[in-house]
Structure 1
Amino acid sequence: MRNLDVTTLRSFVAVADNGGVTRAAGYLHLTQSAVSMQLKRLEELLGLQLLDRSGRTIALTAAGDQLLGYARRMVALNDEVIGRLTDQAFEGEIVLGVPHDIVYPAIPRVLQRFNAGFPRVKVQLLSSYSRQLKHAYGRGECDLILTTEPNSSEGSETIAELPLNWVGAPGGSCWRQRPLRLAFGRHCMFRPEAIEALNRAGIDWELAVESDSDRTIEATVSADLALTAMLDGSEPRHLEKVDHGGALPELPAHRINLYVRDVAANPLVGELAALIRQTIRSYAGASLRAAE
Structure 2
Amino acid sequence: MTVLGGGTMGRGIALTVARGSHLVRLVDKDPSQLAAAQQWVGEYLRGSVERGKLDAAEADRIVERLTWSADPADASDSELVIEALPESLSLKRQVLSAIQHGADHPVTIHTNTSTLAISDIAEGLPAPELCIGTHYCNPAPIMPLVEVALGDATEQATVDSTLHFLTSIGKTPVVLKDRPGLITNYLVVAFENDAVRALETGLATAAEIDRVTLESMRFPIGPFRLLDIVGLDVHVAVSQSLREQLDDEQYTVPQTIHDMVARGDLGVKTGRGFYDYPVEAKA
TM-score by length of 1: 0.26
RCO (CA 8 Å, sep 6+): is it higher in 1 or 2? Answer: 1
Instruction: Please identify which structure carries the higher strand content.
Output: 1
Report the structure number with the largest CA radius of gyration.
1
Instruction: Please identify which structure carries the higher helix content.
Output: 2
